[in-house]
Amino acid sequence: MGLPGSTEPAAPDTPYTYADNPWRGADVSPLGANIQWDVFQKGDHYLVRMLYNERETAFRAGCHPIAKGSKFYDLDEPERCFGRS
């Protein structure tokens, strides 16, 4: 999802310690894994949106919403964007 602080891995040859690694899961995800997907239907057309801690959240870069600035996507878009089509 590209959440803040989640894109840099720990070095394989350096063990993780609280003192020398800035990653704090509680800062990034204070409510644990509170991720919600909503699907909306109108006739044969479906839209999907994602909420992270109750806030609309864009899918990762490269996913195309239905309009610029929108957090709604055609139902097939996340599948295409995440490479599962």
For the chain, how far is it from start to end, CA to CA, in angstroms? 18
* pLDDT given at position 80: 92
Pairing label, strands 35-42, 45-52: antiparallel
Going by pLDDT thresholds of 50, 70 and 90, the confidence category of residue 54 is confident
| pLDDT tens string 14-39 | 777 888 777 777 776 666 667 899 99
Task: Of 28, 24, 27, 7, give the one whose Cα is nearest residue 16.
Answer: 24
**Domain assignments of the chain as residue spans, ordered by start:** 32-81
Q: Per the confidence metrics, is the pTM higher than 0.85?
A: no
| pLDDT tens string 36-49 | 999 999 999 999 99
What are the beta bridge partners of residue 41? 46
* pLDDT given at position 50: 94
Q: Does 9 or 1 have the greater pLDDT score?
A: 9
